[in-house]
């Protein structure tokens, strides 16, 4: 957990800047996937996970805490369920743990197609509208589409009196706050040529290769300190 947290923190600072306030011309880093990703039953991405809350909070959570402390702007829940509740509909995970315990107040980004899966796979919602209501009431600000867009149902839910408009206002405020932190209101023109110039450039490939080579051996077993 410590090593993963240090790697994650370095990635956040590299993407957003070297302080809690994003530097000039940054991008918004998104932590993924919160939490329990990679250990579901049967190796299925959307299945439930069977570990104790103790292990979840002491092994899975610390890396996220480090990245949040480094000022990450966005977090994405994982597809899996914890204790039978899909993460994209979990008040305990998103509000009690992420917001209240870890102090995260940024954007919660739904994973691609994950909100559709609340009714299609998890069967916790009866319809796209039901999934949209569950997700936004439990803290999901943004629906990343795949084939359908569950959050298309939000307007009709509000008009029908089935959803309090305050939830949409809260999510919209967080999205606008992210754009403000990135300076998109002061400077709304993006240097796409610069982006193409530095992304995956030769100089970065050389550094990445060097880092990979140097990380192959992390520890010298001097004087047989380890029983290897």
Chain centroid offset of residue 98 CA = 11
Residue 129 to residue 118: CA distance in whole angstroms: 10
* The two three-digit tokens of residue 53, written as one number: 């809350």
Render 72-90 in DSSP notation, one character per residue: --EEEE-SSEETTEEGGG-
Backbone Cα Rg of the chain: 20
d(CA 128, CA 53) in angstroms, rounded, equals 30
Question: Which residue in 41, 45, 147, 145 sits closest to 87, CA to CA?
Answer: 45
Please say if 111 is a catalytic residue: yes
| Annotated active-site residue in 111, 116, 141, 143 | 111
Q: CA torsion, points 100, 101, 102, 103, in degrees to nearest 10?
A: 30
Q: Which residues are catalytic?
A: 111
């Amino acid at each position: 957990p410590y090593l993963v947290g240090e790697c994650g923190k370095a990635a956040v600072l590299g993407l957003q800047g070297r302080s809690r306030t994003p530097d000039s011309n940054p991008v918004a880093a998104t932590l993924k996937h919160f939490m329990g990703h990679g250990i579901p039953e049967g190796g299925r991405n959307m299945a439930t996970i069977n570990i104790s809350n103790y292990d979840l909070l002491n092994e899975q959570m610390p890396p996220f805490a480090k990245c949040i402390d480094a000022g990450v702007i966005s977090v994405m829940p994982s597809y899996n369920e914890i204790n039978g509740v899909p993460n994209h509909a979990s008040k305990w995970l998103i509000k009690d743990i992420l917001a209240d315990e870890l102090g995260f107040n940024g954007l919660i980004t739904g994973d691609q197609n994950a909100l559709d899966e609340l009714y299609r796979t998890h069967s916790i919602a009866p319809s796209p509208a039901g999934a949209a209501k569950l997700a936004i009431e439990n803290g999901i600000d943004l629906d990343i589409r795949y084939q359908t867009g569950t959050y298309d149902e939000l307007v009709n839910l509000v008009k029908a009196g089935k959803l309090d408009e305050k939830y949409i206002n809260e999510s919209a405020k967080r999205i606008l706050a992210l754009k403000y932190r990135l300076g998109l209101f002061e400077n709304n023109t993006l240097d796409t040529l610069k982006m193409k110039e530095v992304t995956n450039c030769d100089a970065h490939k050389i550094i990445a290769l060097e880092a990979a080579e140097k990380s192959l051996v992390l520890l010298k077993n001097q004087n047989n300190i380890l029983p290897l």
